[in-house]
Amino acid sequence: EAEVAQSPRYKITEKSQAVAFWCDPISGHATLYWYRQILGQGPELLVQFQDESVVDDSQLPKDRFSAERLKGVDSTLKIQPAELGDSAMYLCASSSIFPSSYNEQFFGPGTRLTVL
Amino acid sequence: AQSVTQLGSHVSVSEGALVLLRCNYSSSVPPYLFWYVQYPNQGLQLLLKYTSAATLVKGINGFEAEFKKSETSFHLTKPSAHMSDAAEYFCAVSDPNTGNQFYFGTGTSLTVIP
């Protein structure tokens, strides 16, 4: 069964360091999402891609966060410099553009980031 | 704009008892509605979805949910709780007309007591 892949699964870093997360969506899924999930809360959208283009990055803290999907397939989310408040689970999801998918999003296992 | 409210951040039930997790939505258009489950340190897994077909939706692991437009609700139920149902549950809403952005509730943590 096709799955969304993410790496690393866990990342511990010190504040002011740079971190990067990688996501490989389900093959053929044109839409890719990055979410941040703070402990005890629901996921919040950071950025949405349609192929290689950013559709929505209104909630992305652009002074320290960046995201790219250069070839419209896999994607990287970067934080530089990391702050204590960035400790969270970072989830990647993908979806098909076809109407039969009913907007369903498929989630990866996430990357748990701890900033010390 | 869409939003979701999940009443009860923590729910405890005895094994074998009815599970009821509440979700109310706010949407300016007929929405799509979803329930996801999340186990510790894992991603979200789809339980079921409402996409304007049948109002009673059956999902995986014996869960079902009923879309009630008059009450703007989409509560999740399971007749008999199992120990393996202990997890975090999230309700989400999306607008079918504007793309795929999801709005998640804050989640309900389900504890199953043996």
Degrees to nearest 5, angle at CA A27 with A22 and A30 = 80
Interface residue A25 vs chain B (CB under 8 A): no
Residue A2 has pLDDT above 90, yes or no: no
Residue B84 has pLDDT above 80, yes or no: yes
Which residues sit opposite A52 in a β-bridge?
A: none
Residues 50-69 of chain B whose Cβ lies under 8 A from any Cβ of chain A: 51
Mean pLDDT of A33-56: 93
Q: Each residue of B33-70: pLDDT tens digit?
A: 999 999 988 889 999 999 877 889 999 999 999 999 99
Q: How confident is the model at residue A116 (pLDDT cuts 50, 70, 90)?
A: very high
What pLDDT does residue B25 have? 93
B106/A104 CB distance under 8 A: no
Interface residue A4 vs chain B (CB under 8 A): yes
Sign of CA dihedral A94, A100, A104, A106: negative
B42/A109 CB distance under 8 A: yes
Interface residue A96 vs chain B (CB under 8 A): no
What pLDDT does residue B99 have? 62
Residue B98 has pLDDT above 70, yes or no: no
Interface residue A88 vs chain B (CB under 8 A): no
Rounded Cα gap, residues B46 and B38, in angstroms? 9
Residue A99 has pLDDT above 80, yes or no: no
Interface residue A110 vs chain B (CB under 8 A): yes
A109 min Cα distance to partner chain B (Å): 4
Closest to B100 measured CA to CA, from A1, A25, A79, A77: A25
B43/A43 CB distance under 8 A: no
Interface residue A56 vs chain B (CB under 8 A): yes
What pLDDT does residue B54 have? 84
